[in-house]
Amino acid sequence: MRFRNRQHAAELLAEKLKTYANDPSTIVLALPRGGVPIGFVAADALRAELDIVIVRKLGMPGYKELAMGAIGSNGTRILSERIISTYEISSAEIDSVTAEETRELKRREKVYRGDRAAPQLKDRTVILVDDGLATGATMLAAVETVRSQNPARIIVAVPVAARDACARLGPKIDDLVCLYVPQSFNAVGEWYDDFNQTDDQEVIELLDKAWHTDTVMRPNTFLHAFGHRSRRHTH
C-alpha cells in the first residue's frame, strides 16, 4: 500500500476514525512537523479540535536517524536500552543529545504555539497522529506526555508503521489505528510518492487555520489553507 502524499494518507486514515466524529470530548493531537498535515485533515473530517504535542527523537550520535530514545514537553524521556547497550552509548552522550533536543523542543513550542495555552486533556479522548512510525520512540514519548494529564482514552493513528513499533505501543494505549503494517520497513517516506519535508511555516499556517476556524470546521479546509496561504495572525 502506498500513499500519494500526506493529504491522501490522512483522508484514508480519517475514514478509519469516523466513530470518533462529532464528539466534543475528542481532540486530535499532531506530532510536528510531519504529523500536522495528517492531523489537520483528520480533525477537519472528524469535526474535532486540533492541537499539537511536541516531542523530539534522541538520535544516536553519528547516526541521528536511529532513535535511542525521545523526549516530551513535560520532561518525559524514553530511552531504548537495547540501542544504548548495543552501540555502547555513554551517559554523557545521551545527556548531550537530550540537552540539544530539549532546546529544539522549546523553540518549536514557542514558534508553533506562541502565547496559546496547551489544551486540557483530562477525561478526553485523545487521538495522537503522525505520518508514520519507524521505531515508535517519539510516539511513545507523546503517549507518556499525554497520559500525565489523565485523558479518558489514548488512540494512536498513523497511515503506516513498522511491526516492532506497533508491538511496542500496543500495550501502552487504548487503540492503535494503522492503515498498513508492511513486512519489511526501512523508513516512513518509502511509503509515500510525495514525502516532501514539512517546514515550520507550513505547520504555523495549518495550526493558524485550525485555531481561527469555527469549532465545527468547514469542508475542504485543507485545500483552502494551501490555496490561500497567508501570514500568521498576530494578537
Q: Give the pLDDT of residue 65.
A: 84
Mean pLDDT of 195-200: 96
Mean pLDDT of 21-49: 97
In a domain, 32, yes or no: yes
Phi then psi dihedrals of residue 76, to 5 deg: -60, 135
In a domain, 23, yes or no: yes
Mean pLDDT of 189-194: 98
Helix orientation angle between 200-211 and 91-113, rounded to the nearest 10 degrees: 50
In a domain, 113, yes or no: no
In a domain, 74, yes or no: no
Mean pLDDT of 23-28: 97
Mean pLDDT of 230-234: 35
pLDDT digits 0-9 by tens, 86-141 = 999 999 999 999 999 999 999 999 999 999 999 999 999 999 999 999 999 999 99
Residue 175: domain span: 6-52+121-227
Q: What is the CA radius of gyration of the chain?
A: 17
In a domain, 126, yes or no: yes
In a domain, 168, yes or no: yes
In a domain, 67, yes or no: no
Q: Which of 4-13, 41-50, 66-75, 206-215 has the lowest mean pLDDT?
A: 206-215
How many domains in the chain?
1
Q: Which residue has the higher pLDDT, 232 or 103?
A: 103
Q: Which residue has the higher pLDDT, 212 or 112?
A: 112
Q: Which amino acid is at 116?
A: R
Which among 156, 145, 177 has a CA at the least distance from the CA of 12?
177
**Concatenated DSSP letters of 69-117:** EEEETTS-EEE-HHHHHHTT--HHHHHHHHHHHHHHHHHHHHHHHTTPP
Which among 226, 221, 231 has a CA at the least distance from the CA of 47?
221
User: Considering the entire predicted model, what is its pTM?
Assistant: 0.88
Q: What is the CATH number of the domain that holds 39?
A: 3.40.50.2020
Q: Over 70: is that where the pLDDT of 142 sits? A: yes
In the structure, what pLDDT confidence band is assigned to residue 220 with cuts at 50, 70 and 90? very low
Q: Over 50: is that where the pLDDT of 223 sits? A: no
With a pLDDT cut of 70, the percent of the chain lying above it is: 91
In the structure, what pLDDT confidence band is assigned to residue 213 with cuts at 50, 70 and 90? confident
Q: Over 70: is that where the pLDDT of 214 sits? A: no
